[in-house]
Amino acid sequence: MASLEHSWLSGRIRARAARHWQNLLDRAQRRSGAASDDMREEARDLQQILTRYLHTTEIGALNGRDSLSRMELPAGTDWRWRPEILRARNATPALVAPSSGQWLSDEVALFHDCPQRALILRQLRNHRATDLSDYALALEIMGFGGSFLSFSLGLPAEAREDLGGHHIIRLETTLQSERPITVYARLNIQQGPNTEKILRQMGDPIDGYNCNRVIEFDLGYADMSQRSVEKAWVDVIFEAPYMNAVTLRDVILSRHARAQI
């Protein structure tokens, strides 16, 4: 028996629905966009469903050719992850003049204290042969008048499972910038009311294309309790970001056991 989405009847129903909405569009165009509030709300609900469907199915298609499974990572690696926003088209492609703490997706939020909000954070399609991820995150900074600027990547539940002092979190990135800029990464681990923070500079200042950086967060030196980890995230922090454009072309986080001494 044919599956629901591939059956003849299902296809006819979807084709009929598409023709119906096309007719509604034609009528709205003839009437200079006039439509009831109920119809516009129904269209918005349908748009959200279709957007989520495209996003979900694109993730499924990309998983089959994900380069993560072929990467050489340290022995004992039990978790590896590339953020979803670098693997599939996001429902919201950009944040323009965002307020601090505004989210681009479920994984990515931008934080700053720039009063002019002269910032744009957007998802870009990667096209170069050397790109391993399908999408990138681009941050454009105009007249920045604040004192701090960062965006946060929230780690999934798999990264937090049994996370403790016997682990090392590894961060591998590919960045580019229009002008030299120093970038830091800070791992944050929340256990109850306490949040442990580990800060690392991402090597020399980022300058030009294909700046590959690898840093490690050794949790053996972190002040962690026996409680389970409730939340973990990585802040990517930009120093003196005035008038620049920085692109995160790829990011891979992984976890492996630290050597026992």
Token pair recorded at residue 193: 């009311």
| Predicted local distance difference test score (pLDDT) of residue 2 | 47
| Predicted local distance difference test score (pLDDT) of residue 236 | 96
pTM recorded for the entire structure:
0.74
E-assigned strand segments in the chain: 79-81, 94-96, 102-103, 108-112, 119-125, 135-141, 149-154, 167-181, 183-191, 194-201, 206-218, 231-238, 244-257
| Predicted local distance difference test score (pLDDT) of residue 1 | 41
| Predicted local distance difference test score (pLDDT) of residue 89 | 87
Write down the H helix ranges in the chain: 8-30, 37-63, 157-160
How many CA atoms, within 13 angstroms, populate the side-chain half-sphere of residue 73?
A: 24
| Predicted local distance difference test score (pLDDT) of residue 16 | 83
Are 77 and 254 in contact by the 8 Å Cβ rule? The answer is: yes
Return the closest-CA partner of residue 162 out of 259, 252, 234, 79.
79
Contacts of 25 (CB under 8 A, 6+ apart): none
State the Cα–Cα distance between residues 109 and 94, nearest whole angstrom: 11
69-257: CATH topology: Jelly Rolls (2.60.120)
State the Cα–Cα distance between residues 45 and 95, nearest whole angstrom: 22
Q: Enumerate residue ranges in the chain where pLDDT < 50.
A: 1-2, 61, 63-65
| Predicted local distance difference test score (pLDDT) of residue 48 | 72
| Predicted local distance difference test score (pLDDT) of residue 156 | 93
Q: For residue range 163-176, list pLDDT tens digits in order.
A: 999 999 999 999 99
Sequence ranges of the domains in the chain: 4-63, 69-257
